[in-house]
Amino acid sequence: MTTAIIGTGGIGSVIARQLASGGETLRLSSADTKSARRLAAEIGRGAVAAAGNRDALQGADAVVLALRFAVLKSVIDEIAESLVGNVVVVPSNPLSADAQGNLSRLLPKGQSSGEVVAGWLPPGARLAMAFGTMSADLFESASKRSPERAVLFYATDDDRAGEEVERLIRTAGFEPARIGGIEQSGRLEVGGDLHDLIVGPAQARSLMGGA
């Protein structure tokens, strides 16, 4: 199966490496194509740098938008036509960082990245909020944990997106757990009760009930 990853920075590159090591074919795209080309070369077989964001979606079964919140809308607008009917996976937290690295939230308290992104997508796009629930380092080190896989939580309103994101989560070396619809996705973000947790399925089930 083939996944497009738009954004090959801190989290996009780790998602790409984990999916590739699970056998996924990747089409990568970044702002200036250099970092996508570098990552495709590093991963080797099964990964290609696309000619641009729209080209990345050619033949892809899903697209991961591994982009900072501030650029998400412009990229969604650029590729909107190609998103209709497609599974769109978004790991973005609604944060920005200043020159000193201090983080600030870009949305009012109580409004989640998922709810805002859902409003930016064209009708027919199938959104799942996933792969942004851990820092890149934690995501990399928790992949393929044994004997029990670590859980990656996700949220979606769309069953088809749920099936696809569960396949991707397993391919990346985790056990999927759906916390509910997009209205629940604030729980996955930085500051949410399910963010940056390494738990197995039993503990995940008990945490999910504890909203």
Residues that bind ligand NAP (CB under 6 A): 6-12, 29-32, 35, 53, 66-69, 71, 75, 91-93, 95, 132, 135-136
The residue at minimum Cβ distance from ligand NAP is 9
Q: Residues 6 or more apart from 71 whose CB is under 8 A from it?
A: none
Residue with tokens 């490496």: 17
Residue 12 or 186: the one with the smaller Cβ distance to ligand NAP is 12
CB nearer to ligand NAP: give 109 or 147: 109
Write down the least CB distance from residue 147 to ligand NAP, Å.
Answer: 26
Asked whether 4 and 30 are in contact (CB, 8 A), the reply is no
Phi, psi of 91 (to 5 degrees): -95, 5
Residue among 48 and 71 whose Cβ is closer to ligand NAP: 71
Query: At closest approach, how far in Å is the CB of 92 from ligand NAP?
Result: 3
CB of 58 to ligand NAP, least distance (A): 15
Q: How many CA atoms lie within 13 A of 172 on its CB side?
A: 30
191/201 with CB nearer ligand NAP: 191
User: Residue 4: CA atoms inside 13 Å, Cβ hemisphere, count?
Assistant: 25
**In sequence order, which residues have a C-beta less than 8 Å from that of residue 25 and are 6 or more positions away?**
1, 2, 3, 46, 47
Min dist CB 39 to ligand NAP, Å, is: 9
> Before 147, cis peptide (omega within 30)?
yes
Q: What type of residue is 3?
A: T
Task: Report the nearest approach of ligand NAP to the CB of residue 185 (Å).
Answer: 13
